[in-house]
Chain A
Amino acid sequence: MDKLEINDLRINFNTREGVIRAVEGVNITLNRGEVVGLVGESGSGKSVTCNSILQLLPSPPAKIESGSIKWKNKDLLKEQKVDMEVIRGKEISMVFQDPMSSLNPYLPVLDQVAEPLIIHGMASLPEARKKAGEMLLKVGVSRVAENPRAYPHEFSGGMRQRAMIAMALITQPSVLLADEPTTALDVTVQSKILCILKELCRDLQISVLFVSHDLGLVAELADRVIVMYRGKIVENNNTKSLFSNPKHPYVKALIACRPTLDSKITRLPTIADFMDEENNKIQKDEKLDLNPIHLDSEETLVEIKGLFVDFPSESGLIRAIDGINLKIRKGTTHGIVGESGSGKTTLGRAILQLVQPTAGQFYLNGNVVVFKSIRERKRFCKSMQIIFQDPYASLNPRLTVEQILTEPMIVHGIGKSRKERMTRAMEIMEEVGLDAGFLNRYPHQFSGGQRQRICVARALTTEPEFIVCDECVSAMDVSVQAQVLNLLKSLQVSRGLTYLFISHDLSVVKFMSDQIAVMQKGRIIENGTADQIYNDPQSKYTRALIDAVPKANCSLSHTY
């Protein structure tokens, strides 16, 4: 009887630009004690579906066109607000994506965790607080025992998410809805949270609907997987069958175009490869085809010696980079992998002097890089460029693509006339796979993946030798990511570029890099070839990072 049934759900959004069909006929059944993973990329409708269950969708833009959600002889879509209040938090609970903003910054964490008990009249205030304290200990948040009045900002992201889980499960609901709960967290933290979730839900016999964009993650947790694409369900199967024998081309593509740790390929398959019926080849087994020049290259293009970077903060100086030495060989990609706080982003910015180092020297082709005056900066800017993480914030919204691409040429004196610059801009556009006719458009008219290509094009206008890729695919869906990574790789071959590739995602770093450096707390703790790092990690931290990648087994011991 405790079955959650979504029947033929259709949801539209009324926006300024027209009607968006977010969910088009979705059927999902969640049985008692089952863990179902709902997977899809952005725009698939997975979050909208999940949020509609508890009537959490903002009602003016969203409109439920038809369908029903059956729960205990009721249709949740038609229930009155007062009746929903009884269900929410008590029979069906929810955990959200961003633990930083999902907790009320003005109330102590303990009180917030206790609140569901008070709302549903399940305990008095002191009792509720006590139970909340126990629950928090159970999920591994011990801080609250010492300081009951602790506020959310005193906790790390992982701790806050644990508190959210405690808050959702404290009333022992029958169903837990989890909307991308680990997306905003580091990989190592993520795996711990998943373990907690898995264990608690199994102990309390709670059904879970786990929404995520990460297929691999869901594989770890779920009994069954449902894949959504553009508002529709394309496949619904138990985990094992889905992964061993995917039927729908989109699912095949999702599985294939994600770089994995255990294979080395030169080109990632993309969704396009799969959705195009004629061309269903899976290129997974393509062997190494590296240009021999890379392997034999002894020439160091970029060298970093003794880098220290400090940031002023309220409590004094924070050391973001604590002594780094690095040599990057010409024509290769040197990957930097680390979690938040490791200093990897600061490293990328420090090389380009966007952040002022406290100490350290940079060398380009053996020459010292000095940035004292604008002229000197200009000279080295020609050779060293950077691509950022957020394609939406990386382009000046007021300039056309043509202006964005020709400006560096004007500043650096490349191309003698407007016509020449235009021609060059058009060539570069073709090189990054964009139609040259788009030159007179504005950034907001492009998708995220296209915008990132424009950023790549912009970086190429000065004919650089060295490009820092700072988490430049981290904000993208897997399918788009594959396209951009393929582009970067092919550019490296055609132009002989050298990359410093920074990411928190090990699989992506492994796909891109020849050499990898692992960073933690501002230091490089391990440095070697990609194969060395993954097959024979020397340090405990590296091993933990590798283990934490989804698809590895979750240890059931209480070592959170």
Chain B
Amino acid sequence: MKKVVLSRILQAIPTLWVIATVTFFMTRYAPGGPFDSEKAIPQEIKVKLESHFGLDRPLAEQYLLYLKNLLQGDLGPSFKYPGWEVSELIATAFPISLTLGALSLVIALLIGLPVGIIAALRKNSWLDYLPMSLSMAGICLPTFVLGPLLIYVFSTQLSLLPPLGWYGPADWVLPSFTLGLFYAAYIARLTRAGMLEALQQDYVRTAIAKGASSFRVVTKHALRGGLLPVITYLGPAFAGLISGSFVIESVFFIPGLGKFFVTAAFNRDYTMVLGTVLFYASLIILLNLLVDLLQAWLDPKARQL
């Protein structure tokens, strides 16, 4: 087990380096520097800014300087928000996205898991067809359609919930439900498939032959194997939640990291873009590692390695 952790960390380092390099060069070679759009800035200030950020030095030097700063945890100052460090921006915006993501995931699991399990146990009944059809619909309805729809129903028409912003707990409901329902649909389908497969296993038949009640068979025997596909899905789910947050934050006007990132990309805010990409990459690597560890922990064979 320790070997796995170690090898993954070692694998992460070149990955991050590749990402940093690729992003660096991509932003540099993209047409239009960060200051093109604001022609109102006087020439001297523009020059000063460019030298401050090292833009007048040769490319190779900029790259090395950049790497050096990275290793020290310095992601540089933002091009667009004067006075703000990128790391500070991330630190302010990320917790919001994190809350959104975590809530969505919790909702997704709380809805998806039970629905999937019941659908598997009551296969081919209405407890199966109805939720599965709904979940299919859920997958096909993009969040940026569902979001405005929910706003229309709950805010405009029913005036139950606030549509925009991120000021208090009431604001959390609609966005996390929008994102959460989408993933609940996936999780419900995966759980159902996993449980159906688990219930076919020989060892479940053995448990039944021992006289175990349905409840015991499901909880003690089938669940472990049945939930495996869901756990495997958690990795991509995290990644999806992150990119999903871009859309949700746009629709609901939430000042999360996703919104910052898209804005930064549009504004050619180099350091912000680079910093965010690296941050997300590290996050995904970490989360994938945790998921793998979870999987291994659940499988006795892997645990002993």
Contact = CB atoms under 8 A, between A and B. Distances in A.
Q: A and B touching (C-beta < 8 Å)?
A: yes
Interface string A90-120: 1001101010011111110000000110011
B157 interface: no
B215 to A, nearest CB: 11
A104 B206 contact: yes
Interface string B261-280: 00000000000000000000
A470 to B, nearest CB: 27
Interface stretch (A4-12, A81-89, A131-139, A444-452): A81-89
B46 interface: no
Interface stretch (B73-81, B136-144, B297-305): B297-305
B201 interface: yes
A101 B201 contact: yes
Contacts of A56: 205, 208-209
B203 A85 contact: no
Interface string A116-128: 1001100000000
B207 interface: yes
B301 A105 contact: yes
A50 to B, nearest CB: 11
Interface string A138-163: 00000000000001010000000000
A153 B203 CA distance: 13
A103 B211 CA distance: 15
B202 A101 contact: yes
B210 interface: yes
Given A106-B299, A314-B305, A167 B202 contact: no
Contacts of B209: 54, 56, 88-89, 93-94, 96
B211 A96 contact: no
Nearest to B213: A85
Contacts of B300: 105-106, 151, 153
Residue among A102, A116, A120, A314 with max Cβ neighbours from chain B (10 Å): A102
Contacts of B305: 314
B259 interface: no
Interface string B187-229: 0000000000000011101111111111010001100110000
A165 to B, nearest CB: 12
Given A102-B203, A102-B205, A115 B224 contact: no
B4 to A, nearest CB: 12
A108 to B, nearest CB: 8
B203 A88 contact: no
A304 to B, nearest CB: 36
A285 to B, nearest CB: 44
Contacts of B224: 104, 106
Contacts of B210: 88-89, 93, 115-116, 119, 167
B47 to A, nearest CB: 62
Nearest to A85: B211
A81 B298 CA distance: 31
A153 B302 CA distance: 11
A119 B205 contact: no
A164 B207 CA distance: 11
A106 B204 CA distance: 12
Given A85-B212, A86-B211, A167-B210, A96 B202 contact: yes
Contacts of A90: 211
Interface string B28-50: 00000000000000000000000
A90 B208 CA distance: 12
A85 B208 CA distance: 8
Given A98-B202, A104-B221, A116 B208 contact: no
A413 B298 CA distance: 55
Interface residues of A, number: 30
A153 B305 CA distance: 13
A151 B205 contact: no
A105 B216 CA distance: 16
Contact of B211 (A107, A116, A151, A153): A116
B202 to A, nearest CB: 4
Nearest to A54: B209
Contacts of A103: 203, 206
Given A151-B301, A153-B300, A105 B203 contact: yes
A103 B207 CA distance: 9
A14 B305 CA distance: 45
A521 B224 CA distance: 37
Contacts of B211: 84-90, 116, 119-120
Contacts of B225: 106
B205 A104 contact: no
B213 A104 contact: no
A479 to B, nearest CB: 27
A96 B212 contact: no
A107 B209 CA distance: 17
A102 B206 contact: yes
A101 B203 contact: yes
Interface string B113-136: 000000000000000000000000
Contacts of B298: 106
Interface string A310-321: 000010000000
Contacts of B299: 105-106
Contacts of B203: 101-105
Contacts of B301: 105, 151, 153
Nearest to A106: B224
Contact of B202 (A86, A102, A106): A102
Contacts of A86: 211
Contacts of A106: 224-225, 298-300
A72 to B, nearest CB: 15
Contacts of A93: 209-210
B208 A119 contact: no
A119 B216 contact: yes
Contacts of A119: 210-213, 216
B232 to A, nearest CB: 16
Contacts of A98: 202
A545 B305 CA distance: 35
Interface string A274-315: 000000000000000000000000000000000000000010
Nearest to A314: B305
Q: Which of B201, B211, B221, B298 has the most CB of A within 10 A?
A: B211
A119 B216 CA distance: 9
Interface in B78-129: none
Interface in B238-283: none
Output the residue of B203, B209, B216, B298 with the most chain A CB within 10 A.
B209
Interface of A: 54, 56, 81, 84-90, 93-94, 96, 98, 101-107, 115-116, 119-120, 151, 153, 164, 167, 314
18 contacts: A54-B209, A56-B208, A84-B211, A85-B211, A88-B208, A89-B212, A90-B211, A94-B209, A105-B299, A106-B224, A106-B300, A115-B210, A115-B212, A116-B211, A119-B211, A119-B212, A151-B300, A314-B305
Given A96-B206, A116-B210, A153-B301, 13 more contacts: A88-B209, A89-B209, A96-B205, A102-B206, A103-B203, A103-B206, A104-B221, A106-B298, A106-B299, A106-B300, A115-B207, A116-B211, A151-B301
Closest 7 CB pairs between A and B?
A89-B211, A89-B210, A88-B211, A101-B202, A104-B203, A151-B300, A94-B209
